[in-house]
Structure 1
Amino acid sequence: MKELEGKVAYITGGSKGIGYGVAEKLLAAGMKVAISGRTLTTVEKAAKSLGAEDRIMALASDVSKLGDEVKAVQKIMDRWGQLDVVLANAGVGHFSPIDEMSEAEWHQMIDTNLNGVFHTLKASVEALKKSKGYYMTLASLAGTNFFASGAGYNATKFGVVGFTQAAMLDLRKYDIKVSTIMPGSVATHFAGNEPDEKDAWKIQPEDIGELVIDLLKMHPRTLPSKIEVRPTRPDKK
């Protein structure tokens, strides 16, 4: 997939943060990009700010619902007739000791972070078979490193890593590439953070966008299936 111009991508959770940063880079490479989120007005606002009106699409979809993802993919196919790249990026995080975590918080993380990546792949896999495309999940270093107050989030991200690696083995016979990206600290609005100069040491969303471009331009014979990425130097406190 070295030639990216005209290819079609779908990014869940694309209205801000990492999803938005990836969308920017893919549009700059000449791709057509659909971004989704739970609230259409929010996604439409993000799509407008990205520009490239003829190459951007805003979609409302709750990834915890397979039906929403099926409808989103169908809208992409109806408009552009193909789907080459999917980034399952939507995610939420609640952080508290396990004895204080609510059932609602647990289920929201499972439904969004883990069920969501399955729903996005299930909805898009037939289109990816046709295009011999690329499916990526946005996991986390929390998918390999556990920490206190992270039981729910760790559970989902460990699951995303395992799911993606197994899906890679299932789908490579169709010439579909599958990778999981595992960032450390990223300067986003995640978990209520408000990005500003204090986050300058962190990975920036556009850095993940550049990584996605690098993966798409890699020779078809080579697959980095699990990519850990972290800040070069941690914050000095």
Structure 2
Amino acid sequence: MQTQSQVSGKVALVTGGASGLGSEICRTLANHEMKTIVADIHLEKAQKIAKEIEQNGGKATAIELNVTNFEKIPEKLDNIVQQYGSLDVLINNAGIDLTTPITEMPVNKWNDILSTNLTGPFVLSKEALRIMHKKKGNIINIVSTAAKRSWANASAYHASKWGLLGFTHALHVEGREMGVKVTAVICGGMRTPFLLDRFPDIDISTLQPPSNVANVISQILYLPHESVIPEVMVLPMKETSWP
């Protein structure tokens, strides 16, 4: 296991970092003395998280990042390297969903979900590899039990997360050749706005705090250079979408 000093000072980019699991990941990595880039489409919310981290003694910067604005991504990552000297960790966390039957799913919404949840991580990972292969690094993709099972009214979300899981394993194979570790973190239900805002009647006792998942992510980054975890699943004890 690496020590805190070996993780301290690393530069981590977290997409969707302004709320829910993303904000917990940012707080956790900052607590481990990493320089955290809070990236989100909502800049003011990202700035609020970054300010909170700084006030608590961590190091964080907020940037506006739309993961579907593919043409801007190389420039965004290059700017991070120019400002901080490196990019050591990429966490593809940004994700959206629309709960609706297949027969009522608009094509443009389907495309939005796949662009955000799958194509965005592809473009970000592609550009991160361009930077990381010179200095090793970690790419962590936030997946879901939706990549393992299926339920009604989530066709686009399932398609994106099943695709993201497959992409992550392919990226893991290619990344190893470059010294870059790639991991899929499959999350069970969490007490975040992603679920609570859409399903106000959900039983929160069946959900886990996002900090539990964030702590697992931090431990992945402590793994020695000689080893990699391709996939890990983190479920609440009362998970309803898994046996």
What is the TM-score of this pair, normalised by structure 2?
A: 0.90
Spell out the pairing of 1:42-191 with structure 2 (5 A cutoff).
Answer: 42-51=45-54, 55-191=59-195
What is the distance in 2 between the residues matched to 1:58 and 1:78? Answer: 15
Q: Comparing both chains, which one has the higher relative contact order based on Cα–Cα distances under 8 Å and sequence gaps of 6 or more?
A: 1
In the alignment, what sits opposite 2:9? Answer: 6
1:229 to 224, 230, 234: 234
* Contact map agreement 2:40 2:46 (CA 8 A) in 1: yes
> Match for 1:181: what amino acid?
V
State the identity as a percent. 27
* Contact map agreement 1:140 1:183 (CA 8 A) in 2: yes
> Match for 2:38: what amino acid?
I
What is the distance in 2 between the residues matched to 1:224 and 1:122? Answer: 20
1:192-230 deviation digits (Å, cap 9, x = unpaired) = 348999525412111111101110111222222111111
1:37 is aligned to 2:40 = yes
* Contact map agreement 1:189 1:195 (CA 8 A) in 2: no
What is the distance in 1 between the residues matched to 2:120 and 2:140? Answer: 13
> Match for 1:233: what amino acid?
K
1:148-196 deviation digits (Å, cap 9, x = unpaired) = 1121110000000000100110110111000011111011111534899
* Contact map agreement 2:187 2:233 (CA 8 A) in 1: yes
> Match for 2:204: what amino acid?
D
Gap runs ≥5 in structure 1:
none
User: Which range moved further: 159-168 or 42-51?
Assistant: 42-51
Name the SS for the 1:130 alignment partner: coil
User: Which range moved further: 19-28 or 59-68?
Assistant: 59-68
What is the TM-score of this pair, normalised by structure 1?
A: 0.92
Distance 1:181 1:195, change over 3 A: farther
Gap runs ≥5 in structure 2:
none
1:34-92 deviation digits (Å, cap 9, x = unpaired) = 01111222211221122257721111111012223222212211111011111000000
Distance 1:26 1:40, change over 3 A: same
> Match for 2:35: what amino acid?
K
What is the distance in 2 between the residues matched to 1:150 and 1:168? Answer: 27
* Contact map agreement 1:185 1:203 (CA 8 A) in 2: yes
